[in-house]
Amino acid sequence: MKAIILEKYEEAPELKYVSDRKVPELKENEVLIANQFGSINPSDLMFIRGLYGIKKKLPVVPGFEGSGIVEKVGSAVKTLKAGDRVSVVSGQGDGTWGEMMVTDETSCIPLIDSVTLEQGASLFVNPMTAWAMFEKARKEGHKALIQTAGASALGKMIIRLGKENNFPIISIVRREDQVKQLHDIGGENVLNSSDPRFDRELLVLSKKLSATICLDAVAGDVAGKILMLMPAESKLVSYGALSEQSIPVNAGVMIFQKKVIEGFWLTNWIQEIGLKEFHKEAKKVQEKLGTTFHSEIQKTFSVEEGEKAIEFYKKNMSNGKVLIAFK
Confidence tier at 91 by pLDDT (50, 70, 90): confident
pLDDT of residue 319: 84
pLDDT digits (tens, 9 = 90+) for 172-201: 999 999 999 999 999 999 999 999 999 999
Give the relative orientation of helices 275-286 and 266-273 as an angle to the nearest 10 degrees.
120
Distance separating alpha carbons of residues 197 and 182, to the nearest angstrom: 19
For residues 102-108, average pLDDT: 94
Residue 318 has pLDDT above 90, yes or no: no
Q: Which of 208, 163, 207 is nearest to 182 (CA)?
A: 163
pLDDT at 161 over 90: yes
**At 110, which helix (H) or strand (E)?**
strand 108-110
- For residue 144, the cross-strand partners are 211
**In the structure, what pLDDT confidence band is assigned to residue 77 with cuts at 50, 70 and 90?**
very high
- Whole-angstrom distance, CA of residue 302 vs CA of residue 319: 19
pLDDT at 34: 98
Q: Give CA separation, 277 vs 113, 134, 188, 273, in Å.
A: 20, 16, 32, 6
Residues 6+ apart with CB under 8 A from 124: 64, 65, 87, 88, 89, 109, 266
Q: How far apart are CA 50 and CA 299, in angstroms?
A: 26
**Rounded to whole angstroms, how far apart are CA atoms 306 and 312?**
10
Domains along the chain with CATH numbers: 3-122+295-325 (3.90.180.10), 127-265 (3.40.50.720)
Is the pLDDT at 241 greater than 90? The verdict is yes
How far is the C-alpha of 13 from the C-alpha of 11, rounded, in Å? 6
Average pLDDT over residues 269-273: 94
Distance of CA 278 to the CA centre of its chain: 16
The one-character DSSP state at 126 is I
Mean pLDDT score of the chain: 96
pLDDT of 14 reads 82
Contacts of residue 152, defined as CB under 8 A and 6 or more positions apart, other chains included, come to: 217, 318
> For the whole model, what pTM was predicted?
0.92
- Going from the C-alpha of 97 to that of each of 33, 67, 178, 324, the distances in angstroms are 12, 11, 31, 7
Helices within the chain (DSSP H only):
42-48, 117-120, 129-139, 153-164, 176-184, 198-209, 220-229, 251-255, 266-273, 275-286, 306-315
pLDDT of the residue at 327: 78
pLDDT surpasses 90 at 216: yes
Percent above pLDDT 90 for the chain: 94
For the cut 90, the answer to whether the pLDDT of residue 144 exceeds it is yes
Percentage, residues of the chain above pLDDT 70: 100
How far, in Å, CA of 245 to CA of 218, rounded? 8
CA atoms within 13 A on the CB side of 228: 15
- Within a 10 A sphere around the Cβ of 318, how many other Cβ atoms? 12
Query: What pLDDT does 12 receive?
Result: 85
